[in-house]
Amino acid sequence: MHPGRRTWLRHTSAARRTYDAAVSIPGDLERARRLAFAAEEAGARDLLLSLMPTIEQEDRDDLMLEVFAQLGEIHLARGAIDGVQESIRRIRDCLAIYSAIAAGAMPEAAGQVRISDAEAAHMIRRYSRRMRFLQTGLAAALGDHEGAAAALAELEDADSGDEYDEPIPDMGRPLVVGRGHLSWPEVDAEQRERIGAPPGEDGPP
């Protein structure tokens, strides 16, 4: 999402979406996901960043939300805290606008939205869930493993009833490790080192 600019709205100056863009961008987003899954995060990140100018030109907030969700997952896997926080902020800012429109708080913008109420509701629901996943992972990365574990359990238990909602991304290892997990000392020491905190009571791994 691109805070500070228009949402996915109708403007006479906006470029008409072309067939090539409509087909190629979703395909490239799927390719980026496959690259990330294959542990080629750098290639996935570069591909996602290269798509942003075209997505912005096409004025497609749904596709931009997907870019930031995937970028957040890549940053989370690489331990790039600032990148995760920025991705969360971008997603939250975009969803706040659409939520305000849905609630009737932005009547001047409601008539310009190019998607149906059902599509907007699905988009809000889907990317709110993706954002909560990133927030859960961020809490774990900052050392709040118990709070993150509780948030993850709540996220997993939540049933949106939406058949198109995707499962929580597989990051290659447990997203949240509690004190009872065998990997706790190693993970705790790793996260404390990242944020510059002193060693925990369990000491270094």
In a domain, 12, yes or no: no
Query: How remote is the C-alpha of 40 from its chain's centroid?
Result: 18
What residue numbers bound the domain in which 104 lies? 19-195
Token code pair at residue 148: 């993150």
In a domain, 185, yes or no: yes
How open is the CA angle 45-99-77, to the nearest 5 degrees?
A: 25
pTM of the prediction? 0.69
Assess contact for 94 and 3: CB atoms under 8 A.
yes
In a domain, 60, yes or no: yes
State the total domains in the chain.
1
In a domain, 8, yes or no: no
In a domain, 32, yes or no: yes
What confidence tier does 178 reach under pLDDT thresholds 50, 70, 90? very low
Question: CA–CA separation, 52 vs 49, rounded Å?
Answer: 5
Span 112-163, pLDDT tens digits = 788 888 999 999 999 999 999 999 999 988 988 887 887 777 777 665 454 4
In a domain, 106, yes or no: yes
Span 17-41, pLDDT tens digits = 544 555 689 999 999 999 999 989 9
Burial class of residue 81, CB neighbours in 10 A (0-12, 13-18, 19+):
middle
In a domain, 2, yes or no: no
Token code pair at residue 21: 């863009």
In a domain, 55, yes or no: yes
